Amino acid sequence: MHDKIVILTGAGISAESGLGTFRDVDGLWTKYDLEEVATPEGFARNPDFVHEFYNARRANCAGAAPNAAHAALARLERDHPGEVVIVTQNVDNLHERGGAAHVIHMHGQLDQALCAACGHRWPAPAVMNTADPCPACAAPATRPDVVWFGEIPYHMDAIMAHLSGCAIFAAIGTSGEVYPAAGFVDLATRAGAHTVELNLEPSSVVSAFAETRFGPASQVVPAWVDSLLSP
């Protein structure tokens, strides 16, 4: 039985692709009030503003390219004899565009749309508007298919099952500020996994990790993957 590896990623893995993080010096939450653009209440108050926010992020993402860290994880997924599961907090599609085949988006995806009336999901257009009718029920109730603060992250049962059976757990490019993701390292440790944090600087939960590798993801992630794949 080969080692199962579960990898949690955050905004830091996409930073060198030009996408902003949230809590760094020039992060998104230093420019926008998350209550206004990343909560159901904010969306109810001003849907046009929220659609504009995600339309801008969708355009930013379309113009970005995956970096060496995304490519290294795709190589690990392809060449590691055991199962590799990428759980991302990111709503961008750079893991997929970097070649990863099995990505779990626990906070949803920018390139997906959701109807708040009937629950229908479909590929999001580049620009979404409040008045857009749902393709299935025609209600003007479309929203980005992303998980806002106060909402339940997606695929949690599957994520818990992966964590309970992994031999290695890595967290890459995440500040450890948002739960439940920040608590995954504790679950992996309880499952007996070796845990490693790969980040530009120590996260809020760095003390929970057995191993740390600090530096830009485009450098530390390929080196870590090489260490796992070399005999």
Contact positions toward ligand APR, by CB under 6 A? Answer: 10-12, 15-16, 21-24, 27, 89, 107, 173-175, 177-178, 199-201, 203, 216-217
CA distance 11 to 228: 23
| Nearest partner of 104 among 8, 221, 3, 174, judged by Cα | 8
CA distance 92 to 223: 23
Specify the residue, 55 or 203, whose C-beta has the smaller distance to ligand APR: 203
Shortest Cβ 160–ligand APR spacing (Å): 18
Give the pairing type, strands 168-172 and 142-146.
unpaired
| Catalytic residue list contains 107 | yes
CA dihedral (152, 155, 158, 162) positive or negative: negative
Specify the residue, 16 or 77, whose C-beta has the smaller distance to ligand APR: 16
Catalytic-role residue among 70, 105, 107, 162? 107
- 134: helix, coil or strand? coil
Specify the residue, 70 or 162, whose C-beta has the smaller distance to ligand APR: 70
Shortest Cβ 40–ligand APR spacing (Å): 14
Shortest Cβ 89–ligand APR spacing (Å): 3
Which residues form the catalytic set?
107
